[in-house]
Amino acid sequence: MAERSDTPLIEVENLGVRLNTSRGPAQAVRGVSFALKRGETLGLVGESGCGKSVTALSLMGLLPDSAVVTGSIKLDADELVGLADADYCRLRGNRISMIFQEPMTALNPMHTIGNQVAEPLRRHKNYSAAQARKEAIALLDRVGLPDPARRVDAYPHQFSGGQRQRITIAMALACEPDLLIADEPTTALDVTIQGQILDLIADLVEERGMSMILISHDLGVIAENVQRMMVMYGGTVVESGPTGEVFRRMGHPYTQGLFRARPKLGARKGTRLKTISGTVPELADLPSGCTFSDRCPLVIDQCRAALPPMVDVGPGHFARCIRTDVSMAERVGALTA
Amino acid sequence: MSVFVLRRLLTLLATLVGASLIIFLVLDALPGNAAQMLMGADASPDAVRALTIKLGLDQPLAVRYMQWIKGLAVGDLGNSYVYGTAVGSLIAERLVLTIPLAIMAMTITVTLALSAGIYTAANHNKLGDVGVMSLTQVGIALPNFWFAILLVLLFSVRLQWLSAGGFAGWEDGIWPGLKSLLLPAISLAVVQAAILARVTRSAVLEVLREDFVRTARAKGLGKREVLWSHVLRNAMIPVMTVMGLQFANLLAGTIVIENVFYLPGLGRLIFQSIANRDLIVVRNCVMLLAAMVVIVNFVVDVLYAFIDPRIKVHDL
């Protein structure tokens, strides 16, 4: 077991994903590398289309058939890239589970929730129908669904959005996975429910010693729920590090822009929300060099020449920017202003 | 019985009453007196009047309508003006052909269409999909009577496996009857199967794009298992709608194929009765067809609720 705790649970190296979109092939993810130990939590943050969901789906092996994955994804030192689907099926829902963004559509409307929660148990643990049903009720109880013994035979449409997300969480946790991937788990929910669901996920991760990858575009969600974070833009990781360090220092102009663009309570009426100028580039035609160069306020010619390397800006904290001297000095100014 | 089924039953009854009114009024409004038609243009006015009274055609509209409905309720449909025999037994003779033919054609349709539709959806945009879909395109374009003639040329004239027409009846056992209905059933099924296969394919493809399919995959189910246990049931609603329409169509609209194969089916009975101005037969046959269409739709509606748990609740 000692040896096991040394090898990371998940080790991703130089992951690249090329998707066939309607506008031609697009490099949706490039050069993403990270490692996650057991019990560690990692946040992926960025705008829609930055590659965070594609990264997650490539860990699950659920990209479309036409997608080309390069690099390496190792689960307990076993390579997952190029794994046959039948072998991947033994991992999915068993050792790696995923919670999706849309609880309203993530459940099959024709099957009872009990059967849907029991499905991974029957499949991966060979539980009998009765055993699986009993376990499903226990799981539904654990995720806080009221009166699970009675409602286990109800259908998804008989539940609210928050309750359905609890059901999908129960489903993802059924086989006690090593890694939980939560892709925007609260984006589609009411604000009042969001906190409850995040607390539930955090409790379960802690209680079961799972690792978690939490994907969100919401910096607040990331700040409160993960130990480490990666900021993604245009398919690349532009900044990574321990959550506290990244928020304290903010090495990359994009991270800073993202931070400034948060709506703030108590702002004077009529104050315009700060935005990052320009739009997210199409993955099919990313700029050469730094992916953020077209929108960056600090851009110089050199930025467009080649993709900048990750620069060490603090303990365990890296930013993919050649102008961190200026960006981080500006950041200090921005704080005092 | 659920409220859903009860409501559908009431709708069914109301539709039947509406249909009977329309059928009765339209046939009554047709120019030409049945008695005159029966006796020929040279008949004396007295004789025509006598026959009119004998047939009850002198009674007021409402009285005749009520007589018809009462007859329908007890199963007495009156006698044919032309043959003089009971309309009920005339129709029954034809139904022993039409209903088995419709069921046979529908069975072939569903077998071909579901396998083709599911196969093509599972192999979306691959060679098999493109090939089978081109075939269905040809199938839709085929006029079924022309295809029927081709079948006769091949299986009856050249190979001499099956007879070119006529109906063997069920007296000598099931097999000769089925054999004589095989070619007609295939000709009816091919075009329908082509349409239903395309409906099935697009319905399955649509469901395959749903989020819950990804959820099922994330639970560790293989593609095939997801297709069978999660996709098909969801895709069945549009497929069953078309299946219901097609079955109703088979019961009513096979006149052309019946003529190609000299089959004494319901379609030909209606056709002949119209030509003979045997309006009492026409009226009852059309009413029967309307009833069959409405009943098929009712059955499809009930099956919806059986398949989709959301329907019962929404309709309460």
Q: Point out the least confidently predicted range of B21-25, B164-168, B263-267.
A: B164-168
Q: Point out the least confidently predicted range of A85-94, B112-121, B146-155.
A: B146-155
Give the pLDDT confidence score for residue B316 in this predicted structure. 41
DSSP letter at A157? G
Q: Confirm whether B3 is domain-assigned.
A: no
Residue of B nearest to A63 (CA): B214
Give yes or no: residues B51 and B155 share one domain.
no
Provide the domain count of chain B: 2
3-state secondary structure (DSSP) of residue A146: coil
Q: How many Å apart are CA B300 and CA B134, to the nearest integer? A: 29
Q: Report chain B residues whose CB lies below 8 A from the CB of A102.
A: 211
Give yes or no: residues B51 and B119 share one domain.
no
Measured CB to CB, residues of chain B less than 8 Å from chain A are: 210-212, 214-223, 230, 233-234, 307-310, 313
Q: Report chain A residues whose CB lies below 8 A from the CB of B216.
A: 108, 119
Q: Report the pLDDT averaged over residues A117-121.
A: 94
Domain boundary among B21, B43, B76: B76
Q: Report chain A residues whose CB lies below 8 A from the CB of B226.
A: none
Count Cβ–Cβ pairs < 8 Å, chain A vs chain B. Answer: 73
What's the pLDDT tens digit per position in A163-192?
999 999 999 999 999 999 999 998 888 888
Give the pLDDT confidence score for residue A330 in this predicted structure. 60
Q: Confirm whether B10 is domain-assigned.
A: no
A93–B220 CB contact, under 8 Å: yes
Give the pLDDT confidence score for residue B81 in this predicted structure. 80
Q: For residue A285, with 0-12 CB atoms within 10 Å meaning exposed, 13-18 middle and 19 or more buried, which class applies?
A: exposed
Q: Report the pLDDT averaged over residues B3-9.
A: 84
Q: How many Å apart are CA B38 and CA B276, to the nearest integer? A: 8
Give yes or no: residues B194 and B60 share one domain.
no
Q: Confirm whether B41 is domain-assigned.
A: yes
3-state secondary structure (DSSP) of residue A117: helix
Q: Report chain A residues whose CB lies below 8 A from the CB of B214.
A: 62, 100, 106
B308–A109 CB contact, under 8 Å: yes
Q: Confirm whether B265 is domain-assigned.
A: yes
A120: distance to nearest CA of chain B, Å? 6
Q: Buried b / exposed e across B65-77, counting CB within 10 Å, b at 16+?
A: beebeebbeeeeb
ipTM: 0.86
Give me the residue from B215, B233, B310 closest to A106, CB to CB: B215
Q: How many Å apart are CA A99 and CA A114, to the nearest integer? A: 17
Q: Report chain A residues whose CB lies below 8 A from the CB of B308.
A: 109-110
Residue of A nearest to B224 (CA): A86
Give me the residue from A92, A102, A109 closest to B220, CB to CB: A92
The CA-atom distances, in angstroms, between B287 and each of A234, B22, B82, B99, B198 are 67, 10, 19, 16, 32
Q: Confirm whether B22 is domain-assigned.
A: no
Give yes or no: residues B66 and B103 share one domain.
no
B244: distance to nearest CA of chain A, Å? 21
CATH number of A2-226: 3.40.50.300
Q: Report chain A residues whose CB lies below 8 A from the CB of B219.
A: 92-93, 119-120, 123, 171
Give yes or no: residues B221 and B152 share one domain.
yes
Within chain A, all domains assigned CATH 3.40.50.300 are found at 2-226
User: Domain of B108?
Assistant: 88-315
3-state secondary structure (DSSP) of residue A42: strand
Per-chain mean pLDDT for chain B: 87
Give yes or no: residues B53 and B96 share one domain.
no
Give yes or no: residues B100 and B71 share one domain.
no
Q: Confirm whether B2 is domain-assigned.
A: no
A100–B222 CB contact, under 8 Å: no
Mutant choice from A108, A115, A164 vs B, greatest count of B C-beta within 10 A: A108
3-state secondary structure (DSSP) of residue A173: helix
Q: Report chain B residues whose CB lies below 8 A from the CB of A157.
A: 309-310, 313
Give yes or no: residues B231 and B123 share one domain.
yes
Mutant choice from B219, B237, B314, B315 vs A, greatest count of A C-beta within 10 A: B219
Give me the residue from B212, B217, B218 closest to A107, CB to CB: B212
B220–A168 CB contact, under 8 Å: no
Residue of B nearest to A108 (CA): B212
Give yes or no: residues B40 and B179 share one domain.
no
A108–B234 CB contact, under 8 Å: yes
Q: Report chain A residues whose CB lies below 8 A from the CB of B129.
A: none
Q: Confirm whether B9 is domain-assigned.
A: no
Any bridge partners for residue A34, and if so which? A12
User: What count of other Cβ atoms lies within 10 Å of the Cβ of residue A62?
Assistant: 16
What's the pLDDT tens digit per position in B75-94?
888 888 888 888 899 999 99
B205: distance to nearest CA of chain A, Å? 14
A100–B214 CB contact, under 8 Å: yes
Sign for the CA dihedral angle at B267, B143, B107, B194 comes to negative
Give yes or no: residues B58 and B144 share one domain.
no
Question: What letter represents residue B170's amino acid?
Answer: W
B230: distance to nearest CA of chain A, Å? 7
Report strand pairing: A228-233 vs A211-216.
unpaired
* DSSP secondary structure, A264-317, as one string: -TTPPTTPPPP--SS-PPPGGGPPSSSTTTTT-TT--HHHHHSPPPPEEEETTE
* DSSP secondary structure, chain B, as one string: --HHHHHHHHHHHHHHHHHHHHHHHHHHHSSS-HHHHHH-TTS-HHHHHHHHHHHTTTS-HHHHHHHHHHHHHHT---B-TTT-SBHHHHHHHHHHHHHHHHHHHHHHHHHHHHHHHHHHHHTTTSHHHHHHHHHHHHHHHS-HHHHHHHHIIIIIIIS--S-SS----STT-HHHHHHHHHHHHHHHHHHHHHHHHHHHHHHHHHHHTSHHHHHHHHTT--HHHHIIIIIHHHHHHHHHHHHHHHHHHHHH--HHHHHHTT---HHHHHHHHHHTT-HHHHHHHHHHHHHHHHHHHHHHHHHHHHH-HHHHHHH-
Backbone φ, ψ for residue A23 (5° rounding): -100, 25
Give yes or no: residues B201 and B116 share one domain.
yes
Token duo for residue A289: 């060099």
How sure is the predictor about A331, in pLDDT bands with cuts at 50, 70 and 90? low
Give yes or no: residues B112 and B193 share one domain.
yes
What's the pLDDT tens digit per position in B213-231?
999 999 999 999 999 999 9
B222–A85 CB contact, under 8 Å: yes
Residue of B nearest to A91 (CA): B220
Mutant choice from A62, A110, A158 vs B, greatest count of B C-beta within 10 A: A110
Beta strands in A37-187 (DSSP E): 41-45, 68-75, 78-79, 96-99, 179-183
Whole-structure pTM value: 0.82
B218–A155 CB contact, under 8 Å: no
Q: Is the pLDDT of residue A334 over 60?
A: no
Q: Is the pLDDT of residue A143 over 50?
A: yes
What's the pLDDT tens digit per position in B34-55?
777 777 777 788 888 888 888 7
Report strand pairing: A211-216 vs A41-45.
parallel
Q: Report chain B residues whose CB lies below 8 A from the CB of A119.
A: 216, 219, 221
Q: Confirm whether B17 is domain-assigned.
A: no
A100–B211 CB contact, under 8 Å: yes
